[in-house]
A and B are shown apart, each in its own frame.
Chain A
Amino acid sequence: MQVSGLTKSYGRLLALIDVSLTIRSGEVLGLIGPNGAGKTTLFECLAGVLPYDAGTIRVDGRPLTPRARASHVFYVPDAIAPWPAQTVRWALDFTVGFFKGDADRKKDVIERLDLSPFLGSRIETLSKGQRKRAVLAIGMLTPHPLLLSDEPFDGLDLRQTREVGAALRAHAASGRTLFLSIHQINDAARVCDRFVLISGGRTRGEGTVEELAARVNPNPSNRNPLNPMNPLSLEDVVLALT
């Protein structure tokens, strides 16, 4: 998927300014930026749940029509509790049936995200972390080749973050492309193959840690300007570029 010149404003506030990026098939791409950078707005524009003012989105060189988008992209928003009165088990069945997802994948997703203890619980009764995993499972059961997930680690403790990270990596290994919006840079570094840095509604860089580091410090023989004792980490790159 190629995104170019995406612009979105809320009245006078420019939320996205000329955003361009490329999502490669099968990769785990991280969208990194501070709070208010425009991460959620970008995801919602890509998913078609928010209209944008200008720009183009193409898949394999062809413009992404609403119909093509519905079969190509699925977006899991942050901080939602869909169908709160229903059980997690029913929500997963509904997802598979309504979105024509892969029923065979359900058992694996339940195991990887450790959903078994609360499959029979109503979504409204789940803790923040449990709800996050249940919602992520909904996304993982959809059949769309590209999954956008907004803050997949928000509300998870350290152990859960690692488990969910591993589940996402395994999910990507099954052939799905993931685009994850993450504000915890360490988590992003552990899970993602490449990164898009966004700040103030603009893309500030795109690439692997090494590629981004090269933009901060073009001469590798020079020392890390931010931390002279160590090579540039993703954290350093983000701080330097955003």
Chain B
Amino acid sequence: MSFLRLRKAPFVWLLEKEWRELLSSRAWWVMLALIGPLVGVSFISAVRTYAELSGYGGTAAGVGEAFSPLVGVWAPTFSACERAAAFLLPFVPIRVVAGDKQSGALKLEAQQPMPALWRVSAKALVLIAGWLLASAPALLAVLLWRGYGGSVYPPELVTIAFGHVLNAGLTIAIAAAAASLTDHPSTAAIVTLSVTVGTWILNFIAAVHGGVWERAADYTPTAMVSQFQHGLVRLDVTLAALTLIASGLAVAAIWMRLGASPIRRGYESSIVAAVAVALLFAGGFATTSWDTSEGRINSLPEADERALSGIHEPLRMEVHLAPEDPRRTDLENKTLSKLRRALPKLQVTYVSSTSTGLFEQTSAHYGEISYDLGGRRTSNRLTSADGVLETIFSLAGIAIPAEGDDAGFRGHPLAVPPRRAGAVFYGIWPASVIAFGLLVRRRQ
């Protein structure tokens, strides 16, 4: 038996070593213990609100008829995982990577003729496995919801889970790169949290200034997770996340090569950065996306989409609305984001001279939307989905499709309180984590 153990490939040994190191990491156990109550707070609050809107406790029944578990329960429940990925997860890869440097293990392991990228990949694989284990409370929430008689639409859940795994992968890659680049774990933690805060600042700037900032903000972890939480899988966003994960891990691997000079490592890191920028730019042209939500909340009505598929000329829209104008937010979220999926050749340009638009109201063109479809032009101030679609159909000379007989998604109201959830998330989960932790420590 012991002979067979020693016959394992070095990479398998490395995986086992990383797994054992993860199990001995306090940062991981703390994350594991805290994520249960975090998910619990979000789930209990979401289910309670969902129940009230569905008519529980004397509130007017029927308000929640069009309520979807995706928006009402899963998006808020899984958002706890996003908070854990931002504030708890970074310390785990930092501990795993920086721990090797501080203990001297890296100097020993670096003498194995295995590419540094493999060593980083072993860490990343184990960390992702650790994250999946830590996401178990979200699975418990799904089981509880099923127990309440709630509806579960698997494609939505798979999409949300995929988005959160990508988000965790991003955090792991950034934290691993930071830990590899810096000499001390605390510096790595500051760098990683700075990146997170930096993406929030980018989102804020995008909301105020729009333009290129808005486009860049589409690829921040917050924006990415938000799309997955709405059941939308965008190929460009997925490619961007995978590119950033691969780049972070590559940089971590480069700086783990102790024998290479800092100048060489810096040069190689710049090449990785340049390739990443090129891939991000190229990925931006991928327009494919999938709406996995049961209620098709990211898509226009099917009849409209069928009619739009007959338009082959590029459509240009010039929207004279400031970034902070609520009409612009409405237009973007409820119409243009869906229209882009149906019309990949759509080009939207926002025009405004201020961020709020408050002092542009008197300008003659403010609020106007100009359309140019293959040379045919028109303009109006309609920002509703119906108004925009009617304008486009009229420009294309297509009859406005009649509404189908099928009224579409009606929602799954559920007027049930979150029974036993408190006991599961605040009692059983932390107690199980502590018991499991003690057992593992004893066995090691």
- Name A residues whose Cβ lies closer than 8 Å to a Cβ of B: 47-51, 66-67, 70-71, 73-77, 79-87, 90, 93-94, 96-100, 103, 122, 138
Tell me whether B259 and A51 are in contact (CB under 8 A): yes
Known A-B contacts A48-B259, A77-B107, A84-B103; the reply to A94 vs B21 at CB < 8 A is no
B104 & A100 in contact (Cβ 8 Å cutoff): no
Report if B10 contacts A (CB, 8 A). yes
CB–CB A83/B21 < 8 A: yes
A37 CB, nearest partner CB in chain B, Å = 20
Known: A82-B105, A85-B20, A86-B17. 20 other contacts (CB 8 A): A48-B111, A49-B110, A51-B261, A51-B264, A66-B113, A70-B113, A73-B111, A75-B107, A77-B104, A77-B108, A80-B105, A81-B103, A85-B444, A86-B444, A87-B444, A93-B5, A94-B16, A97-B8, A98-B14, A98-B17
User: For A76, what are the chain B residues with a Cβ–Cβ distance below 8 Å?
Assistant: 108
Contacting residues, chain B, for A86 (C-beta < 8 A): 17, 20-21, 24, 444
Secondary structure call for the B interface: helix
- Residue ranges of B at the interface with A (Cβ–Cβ < 8 Å): 2-3, 5-6, 8, 10, 13-14, 16-17, 20-21, 24, 99, 103-105, 107-113, 258-261, 264, 444
Q: Whole-angstrom distance between the alpha carbons of A97 and B114 in the complex? A: 13
Residue of A nearest to B26 (CB): A85
Cβ–Cβ < 8 Å partners of A50 in chain B: 258-259
Assess A82 versus B111: contact at CB under 8 Å? Given A49-B258, A51-B259. no
Q: Which residue of B lies closest to A83 (CB)?
A: B105
Residues of chain B with a CB closer than 8 A to A122's CB: 444
Chain B residues with Cβ below 8 Å from A99 are: 10, 111-112
9 contacts between A and B (CB under 8 A): A48-B259, A66-B113, A67-B113, A83-B17, A83-B20, A93-B6, A94-B16, A94-B17, A97-B6
- Is B17 a contact partner of A75 (Cβ separation < 8 A)? no
Chain B contacts for A84, CB-based, 8 A: 99, 103
Please, which residues of chain A bring their CB within 8 A of the CB of B24?
Answer: 85-86
Residues of chain B lying within 8 A (CB to CB) of residue A79: 104
Which of B5, B113, B260 has the most chain A CB within a 10 Å cutoff?
B113
Residue of B nearest to A86 (CB): B20
Contact B111 A75, beta carbon cutoff 8 Å: yes
Q: A98 to B109, Cβ gap below 8 A?
A: yes
Q: How far is the CA of A81 from the CA of B258 in the complex (A)?
A: 18
CB contacts (< 8 Å) of B99 on chain A: these are: 84
Measured in the bound complex, the distance between the Cα atoms of B81 and A7 in whole Å is 51
For B112, the chain A residues whose CB sits under 8 A away are 70, 98-99
> Which residues of the partner chain B approach A51 to less than 8 Å between Cβ atoms?
259-261, 264
Could you say which of B2, B10, B105, B111 contacts A49, with CB atoms under 8 Å apart?
B111
Are B259 and A49 in contact, with the CB atoms below 8 A?
A: yes
For residue A95, which residue of chain B has the nearest CB?
B108
Contact across chains for B6 and A103 when beta carbons are under 8 A apart: yes
Q: Give the shortest distance, in Å, between A24 (CB) and chain B (any CB).
A: 22
Residues of A within 8 A of B10 (CB): 97-100
